[in-house]
Amino acid sequence: MAKKTDKLDLYKQHKGQYVAARRPVLIMVPSIPYLAIDGRGKPGDEDFEAKVGALYATAFTIKMTRKFAGKGDYKVCHLEGLYWTGRGIDWDVPPERLNWTLMIRVPDFIRAADLKAAVKALDAKGKAPAAKHVRLEKVREGRCVQMLHVGPYSDEKRTVAAMQQFAAEKGLTFHGRHHEIYISDPRRVPPERLRTILRMPVGKA
């Protein structure tokens, strides 16, 4: 009998990058490959949801195509998002003015040809038309402050404030884009129990 191949789990392989601590911690984040798609406007609106759907459809199509071709299997990662309004993020700006990039981490062996084939397959089925905007890119954030936020997305400012204070005490300041990693599915978990990892790149003040 053939030996069953373990499914690759990037969270287990890189668990130090997904610390879900109730207090801020410093981590180092290397260059990571993602499937990514851009947008602007209020998270949760029609365009946002369409692009979430396109991103997942692309991710699962790539995964299943490789699996059926005997190239191994891996777990599709959680949805992540980068948010900004200028060089960083202004929490007082109306959500309709937010810029965002939605992302799903992929293994290092995923190539542009895998993405191209997946988009072509989805188009042939008339599914996820926004998939044509999905790209493969690497994101490098370096040193970051990270913390678990429990509760509704609208209450993230209190967690971010704790992260900012922690950074300041270490002589660091935020720079770059606000990063969210969605551990919970808001369609199945009530707002007060949502778990979201928040991450912010930092540098010397």
pTM, entire model: 0.94
Contact 33, 108 (CB under 8 A): yes
Q: What is the per-residue pLDDT for 2? A: 37
Q: What is the per-residue pLDDT for 5? A: 58
Q: What is the per-residue pLDDT for 91? A: 82
SS3 108: coil
Please identify, in words, the CATH class of the domain defined by 10-204.
Answer: alpha beta
Q: What is the per-residue pLDDT for 1? A: 34
Q: What is the per-residue pLDDT for 87? A: 76
Buried b (16+ CB within 10 A) or exposed e, 152-177: eeeebeebbebbbebbeeeebebebb
In 3D space, the residue among 54, 95, 77 whose CA is nearest the CA of residue 183 turns out to be 77
Q: What is the per-residue pLDDT for 63? A: 98
* Residue pLDDT tens, the chain, 205 long: 334 557 999 999 999 999 999 999 999 999 999 999 999 999 999 999 999 999 999 999 999 999 999 999 999 999 999 999 987 888 888 989 999 999 999 999 999 999 999 999 999 999 999 999 999 999 999 999 999 999 999 999 999 999 999 999 999 999 999 999 999 988 899 999 999 999 999 999 8
